[in-house]
Structure 1
Amino acid sequence: MALSKTSQQLDRLGMTASTLCAVHCALVPIFLTTLPLLGLEFLSNEWVEISMIIISVFLGVLSLSMSYRKQHHKLLPFFILFTGFALIGIGHFSGIESLEPILIPLGGFTVAAAHLVNWRLNKVCTHTAKH
């Protein structure tokens, strides 16, 4: 039961981090001119975005791996997670600026969806690895 609680906490943290990342990526371009006035210009720094992506990757892989091995043995959350990070990667690194404000938030919400699917699979799964 301890693994399930830890995994659920990681999924909640992952959903929160991914959603915040998506909101950040959607709103920063809109408020870019006002960030310096508010003392928040660091939010538009590329390293902040890359750090958020790295944290989300770490949380996602850790949480989903724990659940996969000990709980539900389903690959769907991984597929959704990697689809989300592919969208983020294409949006962030493709160099096509018109895609960035669409793909990155979509990718962030997709990563959050992977955690949600994982969390729901854990809640439905009432057995341990010895099923």
Structure 2
Amino acid sequence: MKKLKEKYSHHLYKLGLGMSFLCAIHCLSMPFLLVLLPTVGEHLFPAYIENAIIVSSLAIAVYLLSRDYKLHRNSLPFALLISSSVFYFLNILAHNHLYSIIGSILMASAYVLNWVMHRKVCKTPF
């Protein structure tokens, strides 16, 4: 029995080392992949699909932020969302992926900030 545990323990060390190595590769490559995704996505998805995703996300954000504004009365998430919309509009006009990336970051920030403020005032757990 002891020999069996040692055998599996050796495999667990190899598995742990391999998983740690994969995690390191993943963590180091993610910044590059995040930068490349808009460019790769441009070739994989037509512009109307990207625009449909953006419009859908904006519609959901407007609904959630306006609903939660009644609870926390903070307009900063709306300001972030409006800034995000401006950058998305600039992306459509200038075809510059940097605007899309900035718009995405601002929209995600609006969602997160709204969620944090909602959790502070809402008594219902998520």
Q: TM-score range by the shorter chain?
A: 0.5 to 0.7
Distance 2:67 2:41 in 1: 38
The letter for the 1-side match of 2:37 is L
The question of 1:119 aligning with 2:106 is answered: no
Q: TM-score, normalised by structure 1?
A: 0.61
> Shift of residue 126 of structure 1?
4.8
Matched, 1:77 2:77: yes
Higher helix share: 2
1:29 counterpart SS class: helix
Report the TM-score, using the length of structure 2 for normalisation: 0.63
**In structure 2, C-alpha distance between the alignment counterparts of 1:110 and 1:26, rounded to whole Å:** 18
Question: CA–CA distance in 1 between the matches of 2:98 and 2:60?
Answer: 23
Contact 1:80 1:113 in 2 (8 A): yes
Q: CA deviation at 1:28?
A: 3.9
Asked which structure has the greater CA Rg, the reply is 2
1:8-47 paired onto structure 2 within 5 Å = 26-30=36-40, 41=44, 43=45, 45-47=46-48
Q: Please say if residues 26 and 101 of structure 1, whose CA atoms lie closer than 8 Å, have aligned partners that are also in contact.
A: no
Long gaps (5+) in structure 2: 1-33
Aligned length: 90
2:65 paired residue number: 64
Which aligned pairs between 1:88-127 and structure 2 lie closer than 5 A? 88-92=88-92, 94=93, 96-97=94-95, 100-126=96-122
Q: Using a 3 Å threshold, how does the CA distance of structure 1 residues 126 and 106 change in structure 2: closer, same or farther?
A: same
Long gaps (5+) in structure 1: 1-22, 36-40
Deviations 1:1-39 (A, max 9, x none): xxxxxxxxxxxxxxxxxxxxxx5x85142476xx5xxxx
Deviating runs (4+, > 3 A) in structure 1?
none
